[in-house]
Structure 1
Amino acid sequence: MKKLLILFLSVILLTACTGEKDGDERGQKETNTEQSDSGEDVVVDDKDAEDAENNETKDQQLTEEEAKEVAKNYETTLVEIYNSSVDNFRIPGFQSIEDLVTHLNRVMHKEEANEVIDLRFKEENGDVYFLPMDAPQYFDDQLPYEFREKSKSEYELIQEQNSDFHGHNRITYTLFNEEGTWKVKDIVSEEVK
């Protein structure tokens, strides 16, 4: 019972303890040439290049429902890892921190994954363990939130949460598109006074 309580509290605090960090932006440059199947450069008129860029931008647009799903995938991935722990919080299936980074990078930016790992996990004798501590606050789609476009490749989910344990906080999830997949880039929790 104690282990479950510690696990639950660890999961709740994870996002509350993350900090703001710089990330890389993957902008797309407009070009007037394309490479043909044979490897030769072919000149493309400006209208074709503009149409291609507009289609790419459309494909990258994130809907509000998709944004909520990205936040939910973040939570689900971490909770599944915590819940899979066995004796002394060992996480089976991961032989190194690098394995864990690769796994987490499916739903979050590599820098965010490294921050989560630095705070909540350790590697010892070829095994990975999570460090029991209070759990993070996760996005709650039952509470009011704001969804906004920061740029064509970044969006934010912003939500205020209030609890006896964490107090009153504003949590900002920054979401970005990495090679066609929307992920959590950063989570910032700020105390609301």
Structure 2
Amino acid sequence: MKKKLLFIILLLLLSLVLMACTQNDTDESETEDPENEVEEPAESEESSEEEIPTFNEEQAKEVLQDYRDTFMSVIENTEDDGALTDYDSKEALKEEFMTIMSEELADSYVAQYFEEDNGRVNVVPTEAPVWFDEEKDFSFEQVNDSEYEVTQEQSNELIGNVRMIYVITLADDSWIVSEVRSENLNEENNQNGQEDDQASSDENNSDNNQETDTAEITAATAEDLVKEELNISENSDIHVVMDHQNDDGNFVVQVYELVSNGETSHTATIGWYIVDQADGTVEEM
């Protein structure tokens, strides 16, 4: 009897052990089941794409200020004879400019404003670029996600009336000035008003052969008088533009050439002339 009882107990213990092993196998199987594994959400395509940084008017002003400061710091650090103190080659100078300019614009400035001679880089005496003026109104336009244009009208006796266009683009995660363009507003105004000026002149002068000192002097006739004084033909590349009238009412006329250098251009002034509004006398300033 005791042996039979002992045998039954052993069978029960064996059954319990088998059940425990079966349960462990089931748990491991459920754990390893790939269907029960929690998959991490895949990173969306949008988040993997590189985001283009935003750009606004204040940032544009900062870029244009850095553009000016970089150029002027080079110009200001010169010896008495005009040689640069910090750069001994145009290539080194170009690399400095490319921190805030495109390679094309840097090439243009290096060629236009500097010359290399015997291991020295010298400043070429000429008019400086037309800088953006933070104190004046300007327009800010987005061309695309990585390009913007800043447009500003400027006027003085050296450059006349011009519309400056500064193109700012994104390059290697930095905003730089990639191009600078200028448009002469004097020519636009003269073209728009030339017919009116001519009509007014014809109306006030019934005789085409009337002496100049008895005719009314207009902006257009002031320009013609300067051309006649300097023997400048109508087909000449030299520009003769009435800039403004001085306090005496006399016409101030600028005579200049447009000099192109790659993507940029600037005016090279030949001279300034005053045309007396009463008798048409031409006098160089």
TM-score (norm 2): 0.49
Question: Which segments of 5 or more consecutive residues in structure 1 lack a partner in the other structure?
Answer: 1-43
Q: State the 1:88 CA deviation.
A: 1.7
Q: CA deviation at 1:77?
A: 0.8
Q: Is the 2:77–2:86 Cα contact (8 Å) retained in structure 1?
A: no
Question: Aligned partners of 1:172, 1:56: CA distance in 2, in Å?
Answer: 27
The answer to whether 1:138 aligns with 2:131 is: yes
- Look up the match of 1:56: 51
1:186 pairs with 2:172: no
Is residue 2:84 matched to residue 1:86?
no
Cα distance per residue 1:1-42 (max 9 Å; x no partner): xxxxxxxxxxxxxxxxxxxxxxxxxxxxxxxxxxxxxxxxxx
User: Aligned with 1:190: secondary structure?
Assistant: strand
Superposition map of 1:1-193 within 5 A: 48-53=44-49, 56-57=51-52, 59=53, 61-192=54-185, 193=188
| Cα RMSD, aligned residues only | 1.6
Following TM superposition, by how much is the alpha carbon of 1:153 offset from its aligned partner in structure 2, in angstroms?
0.6
**How far, CA to CA, are the matches of 1:48 and 1:115 in structure 2?**
44
Aligned residue identity for 1:56: E
Gaps of 5+ in 2: 1-40, 189-285
The secondary structure found in structure 1 opposite 2:55 is coil
Give the C-alpha shift of residue 50 in structure 1: 2.1
What is the rounded CA distance, in whole Å, between the counterparts of 2:77 and 2:62 in structure 1?
A: 22
Provide the C-alpha distance between the structure 1 equivalents of 2:100 and 2:138, rounded to a whole number of angstroms. 21
- Partners of 1:191 and 1:123 lie apart in 2 by 32
Return the offset for 1:51.
3.0
Q: Aligned equivalents of 1:95 and 1:49: distance in 2? A: 49
What do residues 129-166 of structure 1 show as CA deviations (whole Å, max 9, x unaligned)? 11011222100011110011111010111000011111
What's the secondary structure of 1:150's corresponding residue?
A: strand
Alpha-carbon separation, structure 1, partners of 2:112 and 2:81: 17
Q: Deviations over 1:100-143 (max 9, x none)?
A: 01110111011100001111111111111110112221000111
Specify the alignment match of 1:9 in structure 2: none
1:19 maps to what in 2?
A: none
Q: Give the length in aligned residue pairs.
A: 146
Q: Distance in 1 between matches of 2:163 and 2:74?
A: 26
- Cα distance, 1:190 vs. partner? 1.0
Percent same amino acid at aligned positions? Answer: 29
**C-alpha distance in 2 between matches for 1:173 and 1:134:** 18
Cα distance in 2 for residues equivalent to 1:130 and 1:111: 19
